[in-house]
Amino acid sequence: MDQAPTDFETLIALQQHGPDTWVGVSAAYAWGRIYGGQVVAQALWAGLQTVDPEVAPHSLHAYFIRGGDPTEPVRFEVDRLRDGRSFCTRAVVARQSGGAILHLSCSFHRREEDAEVQTARMPLAPLPEDIRPHPEENWPWIMERRSMRSYPGAGQSMGWVRLLDDLPDDPRLHTCGLAFTSDTVQFDSARSIHPLQVPREQYRDAFMGASLDHAMWFHHPTRADRWHLYDWDCHGLTGARGMTVGNLFAPDGTHVATIAQEVLLRERRH
């Protein structure tokens, strides 16, 4: 941890430490915990090291078990659950000295030529260059966001996201890049329907928030270093948990991925 990664390629470059085990390091996050999208992307990359390059991820399901320490390396242990002719399955546990921080199941599919039908439609949205970013929106490294305001009661949120640095043409790298960007924008859809409405700069004082579990389905290959639009809906709040479901669109309207995440939105009671 002499120097924390400041670009996605360095972040995703895991080191092998024995059979089906890899170790990665974290970027330095101002909020003191590892960003959830990072550990999902790294766990997926570890799983990809154990499968045939001709199969591609089509889905992942992850549980965030505890917050990760960005000053400590993360160990990724891969379990080869099944290798079939069309599909193969892996389980990945991410660990630090305090125990497991993430459990991820991922499935890979050998490409098949069959029907291609898209029913999801990209919503109307201003272009990313036409959106003035909030000071908290732009990370100083790795990822850039341009979120649109979620009005009270809307139950929706939208935003453009991309990785900052140009990546090689490896489609596996771009899939992991999408996984990295997928743990963002959705919180505003849940916050917008909470009875307690506060300005953005007061969110952390009013609420304790975290990602609880995360699922993602990949429909079409794309480039994570280009702008993509996230369109999120919150299906409700129950017991401090919000259920959010989102679609991810490429700039040409292609439905690239579907994401579901349950978020913790707990009101701080002083």
Distance CA 90, CA 96 (A): 20
The two structure tokens encoding residue 252: 């040409």
> Given this model, what pLDDT does residue 17 score?
95
> Given this model, what pLDDT does residue 132 score?
84
The two structure tokens encoding residue 176: 């992991």
1 pLDDT exceeds 70? no
Among this protein's residues, is 147 annotated catalytic?
no
Helices 171-181, 36-48: inter-axial angle, 10-degree rounding: 160
Among this protein's residues, is 233 annotated catalytic?
no
Among this protein's residues, is 202 annotated catalytic?
no
Whole-number mean pLDDT of the chain? 93
The two structure tokens encoding residue 157: 């949120």
Catalytic residue among 105, 156, 211, 231: 211
Residue 157 sits at φ, ψ, to 5 deg, of -150, 150
Sheet holding 228-238, edge to edge: 15-16, 21-24, 74-83, 87-96, 99-110, 55-64, 207-218, 255-267, 241-249, 228-238, 156-163, 143-147
Catalytic residue among 147, 157, 183, 189: 183
| Whether this model's pTM surpasses 0.85 | yes
> Given this model, what pLDDT does residue 136 score?
66
Distance CA 209, CA 41 (A): 20
Distance CA 59, CA 37 (A): 15
10 pLDDT exceeds 70? yes
Give the confidence band of 212 by pLDDT, cuts at 50, 70, 90: very high
Are 57 and 98 a contacting pair, CB within 8 Å?
no
193 pLDDT exceeds 50? yes
Distance CA 144, CA 192 (A): 22
Are 22 and 14 a contacting pair, CB within 8 Å?
yes
78 pLDDT exceeds 80? yes
* pLDDT, tens only, 110-144: 998 888 899 999 999 999 999 987 766 666 689 99
Catalytic residue among 107, 147, 182, 261: 261
* pLDDT, tens only, 229-239: 999 999 999 99
Distance CA 175, CA 193 (A): 31
143-168 average pLDDT score? 93
CATH topology of domain 8-111+133-267: Porin (2.40.160)
| Eight-class DSSP state of 120 | -
21 pLDDT exceeds 70? yes
